[in-house]
Amino acid sequence: MAQAERVERHADALSRLWPGYWPKGQPFILYAPDIGAVFGGARLPDTPRFRPGRLEGAEFHFVLDYPSGVPDTVLLRPDGADDDLSTLFHEQFHDFQNTAFRWMSGDGHQEFVDLNAIPDLTGFIAALDLERLVLQAALLEPDAPARKHLAQTYLALRTARSADLPAEVLAVQQQREWSEGTAEFIGLQAAHLIADRPDATLPSTIARALTTPSQNDMSLVSELLRWRAYPVGAALTWLLADVGADQWRAQLGQGVPLDVLLRQTIGEGSVEDAAAAAARFDLPGLKAQAAERLAQALEGVTTREAFLDQAPHWLVLELTAPVERGKEIQLSFSAAKMSPLADGAIALPHGMVVMEAPGFALKSERNPALIDVPVGVVTGGVIAHAVTLPLAAADLHELRAGEPFLLEKEGLSLRIAAPYEIHQQAGRTRISFALPQEP
């Protein structure tokens, strides 16, 4: 309750963080399943501020566009009373990006990157770590000219590292920094704002997040090309604001990568600057660490075949709809760990998947799952979603094409009320469910 009031009290300042991002009456819900929901911002005239009990359809940590009756309501389940709500602001910024941001190149959205295409992976990881340390030093540097010099040095190191990198790696790196980094920046900035912390503490918060991650159980691709991008992108965004780059918000909205814009604004350091930083931050030591990290990296599952080898039988659920009805299909998933696979799918070793459409409802919890992405591929005017789950063939013995099907078991609930097709293959049962043209 107090958090919601803090958000509303700062509505003016929040609306100025990024024009259009958080309108003054931005509707939001803070939800604790065991207690109830607090409604904030603009809400329906008869909605109480607080409603005890559970909310329908709020299965996830956050929900963009929660159907509260007020359009564009964002819902968050705070992690306890001291949650700083940065996730709420981060995710809402993604929602804003969806309409206000255009990535300038078509490339860079894929989750999977073939690390074998990087000529010297150890050197690559060490170089990323070195860059992170220089960026951290820049954010913590109180003297403006010295700070700018460190930022220029960072850019020089980055240019040197990028020289022999495949274009797809560069594209993923820049796209992720651009989308996640700006969201991370706004999330942290807004959280600082509602907590009445001075602006000056923001760079040190970002700098802390730049500390080399040490989660060894993480997929290496995700660690290097996804999670690293959050604090690096947030740091670059902060620097753009700090140096007062011309029209930087508008330029980012048009899809200019953060590092490109920063380089255009302040230029980059010399080869000597880069060499001095390598000595100051012990590049040889970072290389030794990187080699150790690589030796310990779990091979992990990187192909669809390897993932599907884990269970003898799988249920493939395929949902299609005409593009006009695409919005009636909802697919959401979350997991502590997600592994991007070579063919573009995402493997969840253990996670939650919810897929819903008129006449169709799936909820799978604490199960492996394979999600075909991009979610909602459009071909020939049809939008398709596919989820693959491990399920014994015996659990499907009541399945008859065209007849309603209901399955309830530990961690899995599936209800299909309208006609569907069944395709049997070795080790797979594929159910194809299509929404017709007309509801």
Report, in Å, the least distance between residue 65 CB and Zn ion. 16
The span from the CA of 192 to the CA of 123, in Å, is 36
Report, in Å, the least distance between residue 181 CB and Zn ion. 9
Report, in Å, the least distance between residue 179 CB and Zn ion. 7
- Which residues, 6 or more positions from 299, have their beta carbon under 8 angstroms from its beta carbon? none
Q: Could you tell me if 255 and 102 are in contact, meaning their C-beta atoms sit under 8 angstroms apart?
A: yes
Instruction: For Zn ion, give the closer residue by CB, 93 or 248.
Output: 93
Would you count residue 88 as binding Zn ion (CB under 5 A)? no
Instruction: For Zn ion, give the closer residue by CB, 157 or 186.
Output: 186
Instruction: For Zn ion, give the closer residue by CB, 257 or 269.
Output: 257
Instruction: For Zn ion, give the closer residue by CB, 110 or 265.
Output: 110
Report, in Å, the least distance between residue 5 CB and Zn ion. 26
CA-based end-to-end distance of the chain: 40
Instruction: For Zn ion, give the closer residue by CB, 131 or 180.
Output: 180
Report, in Å, the least distance between residue 61 CB and Zn ion. 12
Q: Cα–Cα distances in Å, from 210 out to 138, 206, 233, 379?
A: 11, 7, 10, 41
- Which residues, 6 or more positions from 321, have their beta carbon under 8 angstroms from its beta carbon? 328, 329, 357, 382, 383, 434, 435
Q: Could you please report the per-residue DSSP string of 68-137?
A: SSSTTEEEE--SSTT---HHHHHHHHHHHHHHH---SSS----S---GGGSS-HHHHHHHHHHHHHHHHH
Site string for Zn ion, 333-352 (x = CB under 5 A): --------------------
Report, in Å, the least distance between residue 229 CB and Zn ion. 10
Instruction: For Zn ion, give the closer residue by CB, 184 or 273.
Output: 184
* Binding range to Zn ion, per CB under 5 A, among 46-54, 181-189, 220-228, 327-335: 181-189
Report, in Å, the least distance between residue 64 CB and Zn ion. 11
How many helices (H) and strands (E) in the chain? 15, 16
Report, in Å, the least distance between residue 413 CB and Zn ion. 28
Report, in Å, the least distance between residue 157 CB and Zn ion. 26
Phi-psi region of 123 (alpha: psi -120 to 50; beta: other; left: phi over 0): alpha
Q: Which of 76, 171, 183, 234 forms a contact with Zn ion (CB under 5 A)?
A: 183
- Residue 182 parent element (H or E): helix 182-194
Q: Could you tell me if 68 and 47 are in contact, meaning their C-beta atoms sit under 8 angstroms apart?
A: yes
Instruction: For Zn ion, give the closer residue by CB, 155 or 338.
Output: 338
* Binding range to Zn ion, per CB under 5 A, among 18-26, 136-144, 177-185, 276-284: 177-185
Q: Cα–Cα distances in Å, from 174 out to 106, 109, 158, 184, 259?
A: 12, 10, 12, 15, 8
The torsion angles phi and psi of 168, rounded to 5 degrees, stand at -70, -35
* Binding range to Zn ion, per CB under 5 A, among 176-184, 252-260, 301-309, 405-413: 176-184
* Binding range to Zn ion, per CB under 5 A, among 11-19, 20-28, 174-182, 295-303: 174-182
Retrieve residue 218's tokens: 């993480």
Instruction: For Zn ion, give the closer residue by CB, 111 or 180.
Output: 180
- Residue 222 parent element (H or E): helix 220-222
The span from the CA of 117 to the CA of 166, in Å, is 7
Report, in Å, the least distance between residue 11 CB and Zn ion. 23
Instruction: For Zn ion, give the closer residue by CB, 47 or 87.
Output: 87
Neighbour count for residue 379 (Cβ, 10 Å): 8
How many residues bind Zn ion, per CB under 5 A?
2
Instruction: For Zn ion, give the closer residue by CB, 64 or 396.
Output: 64
User: Residue numbers of the site for Zn ion (CB under 5 A)?
Assistant: 180, 183
